[in-house]
Amino acid sequence: MNENPDCIFCRIVAGEIPSFKLLEDDRVLSFMDINPANEGHCLVIPKAHAPNLFESDDGSLAAAAAACRRVADAVRRTLDPPGISLMQANGPAAGQSVFHFHFHVIPRRADDDLLFNWEPRPGDLDAIGRLAERIRASLRQEPAPQKTMRLE
């Protein structure tokens, strides 16, 4: 398993930094966020270090997504919140502050004032259609080799 000795999440996985563990297996770890957006905010991380979604392997991503469902269900049964958000950010502009791929599981209330909701507004359907074609073309291409990506 690749580790980064400068990564706080790798150090939590290694047991060098204490955490409030919720779920752990050979591929993933889930623990409470100690800077919670709301009560019950937890994190789910692959144990293998990857700085972001683009550099994570498919197996780690699948294991983390499955763990998210289990943790979110446990949070729902424990706190009975009106909603739960799963959040995953890549790069500082998206709000990523720890550069180890991870998901946030955040219980939500209608009045919690968290800012990652937006008001739906109709888009330009022609422009959306053109962009969809460009993205579909990218999907048909071979994926680029994995490399370190600088997200800003």
CA distances (Å), origin 70, targets 24, 54, 111, 146:
11, 24, 25, 29
Starting at the edge strand that comes first in sequence, how are the strands of the sheet with 28-32 ordered? 21-24, 28-32, 42-46, 103-108, 83-87
φ, ψ (nearest 5 deg) of residue 108:
-125, 150
104 flagged as catalytic: no
| 80 neighbors 107 (Cβ within 8 angstroms) | no
| 32 neighbors 102 (Cβ within 8 angstroms) | no
Catalytic one among 49, 100, 102, 104? 102
Please tell me the distance from the alpha carbon of residue 23 to that of residue 146, in angstroms, as a whole number: 29
Active site residues: 102
